[in-house]
Amino acid sequence: MIQVKVFDEEHEDDLEESVNEFLSGIPHDHIIDIKYQIAVCENVHEENSTMFSFSAMIIYKK
């Protein structure tokens, strides 16, 4: 069965830690692909502030 796991963090170091922790529990030959994305937008709640979203989707065999 093919599954996906999605991660979303505000900082790239947090994303790296979350993804590495998840990957440590999966056999390497079960990983099909990893997609990575960064989104940037203005923070409307704080003046002169930018929000970042670092996300990854892991496609793997269960």
Write down the domain spans for the chain. Answer: 2-61
Phi-psi region of 41 (alpha: psi -120 to 50; beta: other; left: phi over 0): beta
Cβ atoms of 61 and 18 closer than 8 Å: no
pLDDT single digits (tens) 22-38: 999 999 999 999 999 99
- Model-level pTM? 0.83
**Given CA atoms 52, 20, 32, 59 in this order, what sign does their dihedral have?**
negative
- pLDDT at residue 46, as a whole number: 76
Query: Domain spanning 2-61 has what CATH number?
Result: 3.30.1660
Cβ atoms of 54 and 8 closer than 8 Å: yes
